Amino acid sequence: MTDARQDGSGAGLAGRPMRTILPRADHAFRRTLGVAAGPGNRPVRPFSEEEPTMTHARPNRGTTRLAALFGLAMALMLVAGLGNPIAAQDATPEPAAEPAGLDEVAPAPASVGTDIPLTYFGPPPSEVTKELVGPVELLRAGEIDMEAGTVTLPLYRGQMTDGSPVWYILTDTTDEANAEALGLNHSAKLAYANVEGGVRQATLQNDLTLTFEAGAVDFAPEARLEPGAGETPFPPAVAEPGSVGDAAYTPLVQISNAGGHIYNAPIVAYGVEADRLGFCDGNPDHSLVHDRVVSICPDEQTVTLRMVIGFSFARPVFYVSLDASDPVVATLETSTHAPAMANIQVGFDDGAFSAVERLFVTANGPTGADNPQRQGLNSAIMGEGTGPLNVFGGVPTIALDYSPMWDLNLGVWTQEAIDAGYRSRLIDEFQILGLAEQGHLTGPDGGPYGSTGFIVNCPIVARLL
């Protein structure tokens, strides 16, 4: 439901077939990006000369990735809500057979309204200073396939104290130096998640594998999601996650004999040996692996995951949703129910010793697969577009308070706001807080706006503007 998937069936600028929109149309510029021009100038996959369905090679740290991200950032500028945010109204809801991908967010060329061609526009300012506008790859340990909406990360094997295999990834850590070295996200806030039950313990072995003391995940359940009755799909009538952790499972791990640093190490497969996980060409058995896994290849020590599109301070971002403290939220996020995450305190946002940052979700945003203001859980449950388009608080390079532990704040547009024509796509934390303060957004059932008490583990992957 909350995929960044793209089906490649739409038309791009000037009616050209589109899968990945590049900022300039000339072949020379495509070559600088490492992108070949296909028939009719249709761009092909940015990271390979071939056209395989999935990416399985160990993540490539080539220099073309930032430029390729810029291509997608240009394609996603419209997602950032550059249109009129007040005049939006619902379109007639028409469930989409497949997510619309970039088709629902493709902008006009930057040269529109100017007297110069598109080729005159220079590189993004973020190439000079990453805090400026433009694309920035944040989770540098991975290789992003923008066309497929996936990220390929190193796959690690550990074990429980009884020897059961544990397959996991690394996305964030309190160890700033190692974050820089490994290409992970640094999150100082994770140190404050180390309360009773909030963090698992692991020991580093001589062979550099981790042995975990507790925390198992069952990937056998089949995810079930059925819309609610009537005109409001949310809350769903049935929501059962496709993977469930035991009472001790949290994705956060402290390595007791290696400096005591905390890592975000979500489990993507558990209790199975490598010979049962050979899905290098895709089509994995999701009774063995996380539902966001697109392919997994122990021989190459990689796993490819489906990403999601959201916003942070009006800038589109890619992230991966992996775990949630509540089973309904886990189902909506295509993630693992991780009960022990509930031990982490919510509601304190950026106060001292808070381990969380806020995630802003809209329940009843504008609907309609072709509506440029589409957003929210009702729309996502109906299968429209690329997911609910959630709004994040601080992410690296934009703010100093990043944590992958997101405190879910659920907003509901009031009927008065809807009748007045105020309902629109929201893209910024303070835009949302202002609407809540004015009474246009409330919590569920008209209650106060704020934390639901649920936490979602969503490591940030890339900033697109």
Q: If DSSP states are collapsed to H, E and C, what string results for 428-454? A: CHHHHHHHHHCCCEECHHHCCCCEEEE
- Dist. CA 439–CA 433, nearest whole Å: 10
Binning pLDDT at 50, 70 and 90, where does residue 69 land? low
What's the pLDDT at 313? Answer: 95
pLDDT score for 85: 32
CA 107 vs. chain centroid, Å, equals 21
Work out the percent of the chain whose per-residue pLDDT is above 90: 70
Lowest mean pLDDT among 6-15, 64-73, 453-462: 6-15
The whole-number pLDDT of residue 65 equals 53
Other CB atoms within a 10 A radius of the CB of residue 267 amount to: 28
pLDDT (mean) for 400-419 = 98
For residue 276, is pLDDT > 80?
yes
Mean pLDDT, residues 148-177 taken together: 98
Rounded to an integer, the average pLDDT of 423-451 is 98
pLDDT score of 402 more than 90: yes
Q: What is the pLDDT of residue 53?
A: 37
Model confidence at 45, in pLDDT bands (50, 70, 90)? very low
Distance between CA atoms of residues 83 and 100, nearest Å: 19
Position 109 confidence tier, pLDDT thresholds 50, 70, 90: confident
Q: Which amino acid is at 22?
A: L
Q: Which of the pair, 248 or 57, is modelled with greater confidence?
A: 248
Question: Per DSSP, what are the bridge partners of residue 264?
Answer: 172, 252
Mean pLDDT of 400-409: 98
What pLDDT is attached to residue 385?
84
pLDDT at 345: 97
What mean pLDDT, rounded, does the chain reach?
83
Whole-number pLDDT of residue 60: 45
- For residue 59, which of 148, 138, 153, 179 has the smallest C-alpha distance? 153
320-367 tens-digit pLDDT = 999 999 999 999 999 999 999 999 999 999 999 999 999 999 999 999
pLDDT of residue 78: 32
Res. 68 pLDDT band, cuts 50 70 90: low
Q: Where residue 386 falls among pLDDT bands split at 50, 70, 90?
A: confident
Name the least confident of 144-148, 410-414, 460-464.
144-148
How many residues are given for the chain?
Answer: 465
Lowest-confidence pick of 70-79, 99-108, 135-144, 330-339: 70-79
The answer on pLDDT for 76 being more than 90 is no
Whole-number pLDDT of residue 31: 30
**What is the mean pLDDT of the segment spanning 221-238?**
95
Report residue 390's pLDDT band, with 50, 70 and 90 as the boundaries: very high
- The answer, yes or no, to whether residue 107 has pLDDT greater than 50, is no
| Residue type for position 250 | T
> What is the pLDDT, as a whole number, of residue 110?
79
Q: Which residue matches tokens 């249109």?
A: 83
- Give the position of tokens 């583990």: 457
Q: Could you tell me which of 33, 12, 16, 35 has the C-alpha nearest to residue 107?
A: 12
At residue 266, the pLDDT reads: 99
- What pLDDT, on a 0 to 100 scale, did the predictor assign at position 92? 40
- Strand duo 391-392 + 308-312: pairing: parallel
Alpha carbons 20 and 103: distance in angstroms, whole number: 10
Tell me which of 121-125, 257-261, 455-459 is least confident: 121-125
pLDDT of residue 128: 94
Place of tokens 């999150």: 187
On the question of pLDDT at 21 being above 60, the answer is no
Which tokens belong to 445? 């059932």
Q: Average pLDDT in the 150-179 region?
A: 98
* Three-class DSSP category at 415: helix
pLDDT at 139: 98
Which has more pLDDT, 379 or 147? 379
Quick one: pLDDT at residue 464?
Answer: 86
Burial profile 135-163: b = 16 or more Cβ within 10 angstroms, e = fewer:
bbbbbbbbbbbbbbbbbbbbbbbbebeee
